[in-house]
Amino acid sequence: MKPSLGKLIIASFLGYSTLFAPPFCPIDSSKISALVSHKAPLVAVAIIGGGPTGLAAALPPARSGYQPVVFQGPKPGGELAEAQVVENWPGLEKLSGAAAMEKLEHQAREFGALIVPLVVDDLDVTSWPYKLTLNNGTHVYALTVIIATGSTQGMLGIEGEQTYWGRGLFSCGLCDGSYAHGKDAVIIGGGDIAIQRALQLLPEARHSTLIVPGPRMTAHESMQEKIKGLETISVLYNKEVKEIVGDEKGITHIMLYDTVTHETSPFTTSCIFLSTGLTPNIELFKGKLDITKDGCVTLKECSRSQNTVLEGIMAAGTVSDPTYRQIATITGDGNKAGMDALSWLSKWGFDSTLRPLLSSNPYTPPVIPHPSIKHITTLKEFGRVLMEPKPVLLEFYAPGCPSCRKMEGPLTTITEDYKTSLNVYKIDKDKLYSLIELYDINFIPAFLLMKNGKEVSRLEGESNLTGLSDQVKKGLEQQAPQKL
């Protein structure tokens, strides 16, 4: 959106957000009828994010019969799904983060929320109903939008970090914990999450060392108690990681700076998990919504609601709250956002006359993963697949890997688009690790297009529908090599 000079001057008096306020008010129901008559996918409440906040936000509209749609994004269940133990959610006894999220997801579904395993790639706020672009190439229009995209681990900005990211340096214990198997792992951080990561690695790592920058941990006392007396977890205080060092095989050691003695010394490890500061996931909203100095989505000033400065758009959870970041508070805020969406719909007269319109045109998300994608679990099966006459697309993935989840939408679209010319298979990298070595795969997800049993094109690491589509086209155009 390009603001005029006049608008810029006015905006400088009124505040940045006015500049981006979309040109509508109140709801123009004819736009809804037009979308419905064109069978365009339209929903009353779209929720971006399938973590605790997004699912809690779904409860009020779901209970009111609005069938909110939750786009889960790259990390279904959000950060909490990684927690080894959750013991501070009011009313719930100790349970794992995954079990807690299963309960919440079940509750939201029971009330009628639709939970869709797609990523929102773009949010167009220049006209209403708001348009969401999804990573399988489709669009959805929404009367209200709740932003619950959470946060991800920030990087340290030190040397070696980019080189070894995904090759010994990770942030997700759930997805990459198996890499620590039998190794001496390092966890950088001293908060609750760092301790949760150390507990998560207990069955895998030979030993884990937490590197804490100050003289004490910032984790809650009760969390610190959990690692006291454990022989396979130790803590180093007053240490800052200055560099990650290694060779072509991976990480060999880190350089540790002692903040008391001011000496720097090497510390041997081949496996590191970052558990330091979080960065709010605001990429989609930059230039559309105000962002605070903490990098969070700004809520409407002087308001106890979760409304943002844009009409009908709410935000909640760690994407808008840099302070509390606990499930009890963020699920409360998520619930408020769901109620705010209902109030907004009612304020603008979205009443019983419009509801039947939406019900006559229900949103049907694609089935993901595509039903014809099969899994290869043994080397024997792999050998048989290589002999297939049709070209074969192989995806090497890991369960819980956010980049792999991001590629499920694109992979489903490609599988459908090429259903007559391509067979698609998934391989869990941990189940057939010898293939990772054989094909020299450095990043997952990795997509290998095979013809006559030989690789003709490859795409490694996170990409998108265009990237995958280009790789497949390129591979299909290649002449088939001689049969194996």
Ligand X SMILES: Cc1cc2nc3c(=O)[nH]c(=O)nc-3n(C[C@H](O)[C@H](O)[C@H](O)COP(=O)(O)OP(=O)(O)OC[C@H]3O[C@@H](n4cnc5c(N)ncnc54)[C@H](O)[C@@H]3O)c2cc1C
Residues contributing to the site for ligand X (CB under 6 A): 48-54, 71-76, 78-80, 82-83, 86, 88, 97, 119-120, 148-151, 192-193, 196-197, 281, 284, 317-318, 325-327, 330
Residue 405 vs 451, nearer CB to ligand X: 405
Cβ at position 285, least distance to ligand X in Å = 10
DSSP state of 366: P
Residue 76 vs 190, nearer CB to ligand X: 76
137 and 129 in contact (C-beta within 8 Å)?
no
Helix (H) or strand (E) holding 384: helix 379-386
Helix (H) or strand (E) holding 256: strand 250-258
Residues present in the chain in total: 484
| Closest by CA position to 471, among listed 401, 400, 422 | 422
Expressed in angstroms, the distance from the first to the final Cα of the chain is 55
Beta-carbon contacts of residue 109 (< 8 Å; ≥ 6 apart):
115
Other Cβ atoms within 10 Å of 14 Cβ, number: 12
The reply to whether omega before 366 is within 30° of 0 (cis) is no
Residue 317 vs 338, nearer CB to ligand X: 317
Tokens of 318: 């760690």
54 and 334 in contact (C-beta within 8 Å)?
yes
Q: Are strands 69-71 and 42-48 parallel, antiparallel or unpaired?
A: parallel
Cβ at position 76, least distance to ligand X in Å = 6
404 in active site: yes
Beta partners for residue 243, in sequence order: 159, 255
175 in active site: no
Could you give the CA distance from residue 391 to residue 453 in angstroms, rounded to a whole number? Answer: 9
- For residue 156, how many C-alpha atoms fall within 13 Å in the half-sphere facing its CB? 25
**Exposed, middle or buried, 45 (CB in 10 Å: 0-12/13-18/19+)?**
buried
CA dihedral of residues 431, 387, 426, 469 (deg, nearest 10): 140
Could you give the CA distance from residue 201 to residue 186 in angstroms, rounded to a whole number? Answer: 10
Candidate list 172, 271, 296, 404, residue with the active-site label: 404
Q: Are strands 151-153 and 278-280 parallel, antiparallel or unpaired?
A: antiparallel
SS3 478: coil
Residue 145 vs 284, nearer CB to ligand X: 284
SS3 367: coil
Residue 298 vs 423, nearer CB to ligand X: 298
Beta-carbon contacts of residue 32 (< 8 Å; ≥ 6 apart):
42, 129, 143, 354, 357, 358
Residue 197 vs 426, nearer CB to ligand X: 197
Cβ at position 103, least distance to ligand X in Å = 14
Cβ at position 319, least distance to ligand X in Å = 6
Beta partners for residue 130, in sequence order: 142
Across 84-211, the runs of DSSP E, i.e. the strands, are 114-116, 120-124, 130-134, 139-147, 151-153, 169-170, 184-188, 207-211
Residue 323 vs 434, nearer CB to ligand X: 323
Tokens of 92: 């719930």
Cβ at position 395, least distance to ligand X in Å = 19
Residue 406 vs 451, nearer CB to ligand X: 406
Residue 332 vs 461, nearer CB to ligand X: 332
Backbone angles phi, psi at 249, to 5 degrees: -85, -25
Cβ at position 454, least distance to ligand X in Å = 36
Active-site positions read 401, 404
